[in-house]
Amino acid sequence: MKNLVTGGAGFIGSHLVDELVRRGDQVIVYDNLSTGFRRHLEIALDQNAVELVHADMLDQDKLNDAMRGVERVFHLAANADVRGGRANTLVDLEQNIIGTHRVLEAMRINGAKEIVFTSSATVYGEPDIFPTPETYAPLQTSIYGASKLAAEAMIQAYGEYFGIRSFSFRFVSWIGERYSHGVVFDFIKKLQANPRKLEILGDGNQKKSYLHVEDGVNAICKALDNMKDLKNVVNLGHSDYLNVVDLANIVVEEMGLSGVEYDFTGGVRGWLGDSPFVHLDISRIRNAGFEPHVSIEEGIRRTVRYLLSNQWLLHDRAVGTT
């Protein structure tokens, strides 16, 4: 199968690319390298196993050209900063809604018939049912979450009009090798700057579920192999969850530090739009044959070890080097 992966040089996208190559598929990576890295793909590029198109998702003409002959699209390119929507209220509209429309238009023009979309658990806002099922009717608490839900709706409408089969995966936070954004990354950066004190947003009691990237890619593949509906909305998460203080303790231990003072900013949320408890019902993906194998604690430890042994990522992600 010929696949196009938007955001394929990023953390999750590059792992998906590796799996598609392993399966023998043809892969085109479409990425502007603003948050992705060419070196995540260097083995596949050296082996001529993938084609890299360095272009922006909003460039309709380049996207149309890249989409020629493509059968399936993995659409991962997006703004990933939930907090950023307050400072720049256009970024989620442009990158997550308009960008998705550009992808769907390129699919329509070229006849591509399947899309895999990375949505988010943020579409649930602050739910009052845990674990939260796909059928939960949410009220939005962030522009980011609203943009992801709007993109899901756009994908489903295109599916109805043009026969495009869709998978919208609502993620918890992913962790693992090549991780370049999120709480573990932030804690390491803060502790490297000051190994005696760690600022923790909120009161530290926020409870979150995390999914290791190996499990996440496996879950997506299970869904593609076993779910047959035209429109599929699927939670991806872990059966467990962890509070922020316990996560911080793991990071501190893996960094070999002791006596670190935690400085809490206060409040039940880390920021406006943050949900104090994220725990998804994963019954639907389990029915497709998936079960998470990497515990949250082990996934965090592996993430810390990877970042400490790949300091270039801690530096280059911060300064935007590609």
Catalytic residues: 144
Separation CA 219–CA 213 (nearest Å): 10
Q: Which residues pair with 264 in a beta bridge?
A: 200
In contact, 242 and 172? CB cutoff 8 Å: no
Closest CA to 280 of 155, 166, 138: 138
**159: Cβ contacts below 8 Å, ≥ 6 apart:** 165, 166, 230, 231
**Tokens representing 311?**
């300091």
Separation CA 235–CA 217 (nearest Å): 13
Separation CA 123–CA 134 (nearest Å): 10
Separation CA 157–CA 111 (nearest Å): 16
Separation CA 101–CA 210 (nearest Å): 29
What is the DSSP secondary structure assignment for residue 98, as one 8-state letter? I
- Cis ω before 133 (30° cut-off from 0): no
Separation CA 78–CA 103 (nearest Å): 12
**Tokens representing 124?**
């649930």
**Tokens representing 64?**
């149309």
Q: Which residues pair with 75 in a beta bridge?
A: 6, 117
Separation CA 285–CA 223 (nearest Å): 7
3-state secondary structure of 127: coil
Secondary structure (DSSP) of 42-86: HHHHHTT-EEEEE--TT-HHHHHHHTTT--EEEE--S---GGGGT
